[in-house]
Amino acid sequence: MSPVTDIINELVNMHNTSDENLLQLICTENELPQLTSAADKIRRDHYGTDVYIRGLIEFTNYCRNSCYYCGINAHNKNACRFRLDKQDILSCCDKGYPLGFRTFVLQGGEDPYYTDDIICDIVYSIREKYPDCAVTLSIGEKTRKSYQAYYNAGASRFLLRHETADSVHYNKLHPSKMSLENRKRCLYELKDIGFQTGSGFMVGSPFQSAENLVSDLRFLQELSPDMIGIGPFIPHSETVFADCEQGSLKTTLKMISILRLMFPYALIPSTTALGTIHPDGRELGLKAGGNVIMPNLSPDSAKLNYTLYNNKLCTGDEAAEQLESLKIKVRSAGYEIVTDIGNVKR
Ligand code: SAM
């Protein structure tokens, strides 16, 4: 076993280390302030104190999939379903632009109601009205032809977490009609088309081992995504994982720091899920190496019903309207929210 300081130095200098060393970092019970401060230094070297904001628009909670962990899965008959139309979505952008948002993230379940033509029309209309803004899509697994159509319509970024890079683990979290192979196919096609691509995983999802987390890091090295989104798993009462334990704050923060050291250039959000499990979760995520926050621009009714997990934050600083208060909190953590399209700096 190498001393922890040596492992951190290796990560700082080589952006890589052995599986054994990664496991040691992940499994250590102790807080690792050296890891956090090394990650913060690398983040400052690459991005200064800038925190990019993305305006999240949750536009549908209908979903054809039934991921076992997710509160909006197709089997949840108690979910109160909603859809936003183009005008609703443009109104979210109208609200966000004057607040300083220059990226709009359209996220939703895999909802067949939104044909490719509808998605392309929405993307095109946002880009037409706000040409200095980027449109990010997070709408799940599609064909290459569909992805290409979205790209041609003006979407330049796509978020699709791989969820777990171990196929045995993947099959414990998803029904048999879903596969890790298809998820990976989507991610490689998105990159090949030219999207700035984001992937990621939940920390502490049911059945997850430390070895699984190492596989996640190795897969990300292979994919080399521009954005890496991770957050703790949080149970939802209407899923088969209702009684499972939630992911830990400490491990999530540690994983953010490891990611920052392995992928110094990456856009790493401090996620809503992190803010949900701890009142200072978002600020702690930034201090651990995160450099993106995604406040919610959706109308209240959508925010309330886009319940992926229990107690999801959707009011207070999570709401885009509270940006001023969020700016103050971010500043007191040592960083600065900027008005910027926020492209990756490779
Ligand atoms: N349908 C799109 C997709 O599959 O990428 C986007 C929506 S999906 C709900 C967004 C992300 O929410 C998933 O990638 C997953 O990691 C996260 N998520 C879902 N249920 C969760 C839970 N119970 N706890 C934490 N994160 C969860």
Give the DSSP H or E segment for 137: strand 134-138
- CA-atom Rg of the chain in angstroms: 19
Which one-letter amino acid corresponds to residue 167? S
pLDDT range class, residue 314, cuts 50, 70, 90: confident
pLDDT range class, residue 118, cuts 50, 70, 90: very high
Average pLDDT of 148-165? 98
Q: Check pocket membership of 203 for ligand 1, CB cut-off 6 A.
A: no
Residue 84's pLDDT is 98
pLDDT range class, residue 33, cuts 50, 70, 90: very high
Question: Which ligand 1 atom is the nearest neighbour of the CA of 236?
Answer: 23
Tell me how far apart the alpha carbons of residues 308 and 246 are, in angstroms, rounded to a whole number: 13
Residue 318's pLDDT is 74
Tell me how far apart the alpha carbons of residues 306 and 165 are, in angstroms, rounded to a whole number: 26
Average pLDDT of 182-189? 98
Residue 165 CB coordination number (10 Å): 23
pLDDT range class, residue 30, cuts 50, 70, 90: confident
Residue 312's pLDDT is 87
CB 305 within 8 A of CB 79: yes
Residue 120's pLDDT is 99
* Residues belonging to the chain: 346
pLDDT range class, residue 24, cuts 50, 70, 90: very high
- Biggest CA-to-CA distance, the chain: 58
Judge whether residue 317 has pLDDT over 90.
no
- Interior/surface letters 166-195, b for 16+ CB within 10 angstroms, e for the rest: beebbeebbeeebebeebbebbebbbeeeb
pLDDT range class, residue 334, cuts 50, 70, 90: very high
Residue 31's pLDDT is 82
Query: Whose C-alpha lies nearest to ligand 1, atom 12?
Result: 308
Alpha-helical segments (H) within 97-241: 116-129, 144-153, 167-173, 180-193, 210-223
Q: Check pocket membership of 70 for ligand 1, CB cut-off 6 A.
A: yes
Judge whether residue 246 has pLDDT over 80.
yes
pLDDT range class, residue 34, cuts 50, 70, 90: very high
Residue 176's pLDDT is 98
Q: Encode pLDDT of 56-88 as tens digits.
A: 999 999 999 999 999 999 999 999 999 999 999
Domains and CATH numbers, the chain: 3-338 (3.20.20.70)
DSSP character string of 69-105: T-TT-TT-TT----B--HHHHHHHHHHHGGGT--EEE
Identify the burial level of 123 via C-beta atoms within 10 angstroms of its C-beta, where 0-12 means exposed, 13-18 middle and 19 or more buried. buried
Q: Encode pLDDT of 251-261 as tens digits.
A: 999 999 999 99
Query: Whose C-alpha lies nearest to ligand 1, atom 3?
Result: 140
Give the DSSP H or E segment for 228: strand 227-232
Residue 149 CB coordination number (10 Å): 17
Residue 319's pLDDT is 80
Q: Check pocket membership of 114 for ligand 1, CB cut-off 6 A.
A: no
Residue 146 CB coordination number (10 Å): 16
Judge whether residue 316 has pLDDT over 90.
no
Q: Check pocket membership of 269 for ligand 1, CB cut-off 6 A.
A: no
Token reading at 144: 């290459």
Q: Check pocket membership of 308 for ligand 1, CB cut-off 6 A.
A: yes
Token reading at 151: 């790209």
Q: How far is the CA of 251 from the centre of ligand 1 (A)?
A: 19
Q: Check pocket membership of 11 for ligand 1, CB cut-off 6 A.
A: no
What is the residue-averaged pLDDT of the chain? 96
Q: Check pocket membership of 183 for ligand 1, CB cut-off 6 A.
A: no
Average pLDDT of 274-279? 95
- Higher pLDDT pick, 192 / 319: 192
Question: Which ligand 1 atom is the nearest neighbour of the CA of 138?
Answer: 6
Tell me how far apart the alpha carbons of residues 26 and 28 are, in angstroms, rounded to a whole number: 6
Tell me how far apart the alpha carbons of residues 341 and 88 are, in angstroms, rounded to a whole number: 22
Tell me how far apart the alpha carbons of residues 14 and 264 are, in angstroms, rounded to a whole number: 11
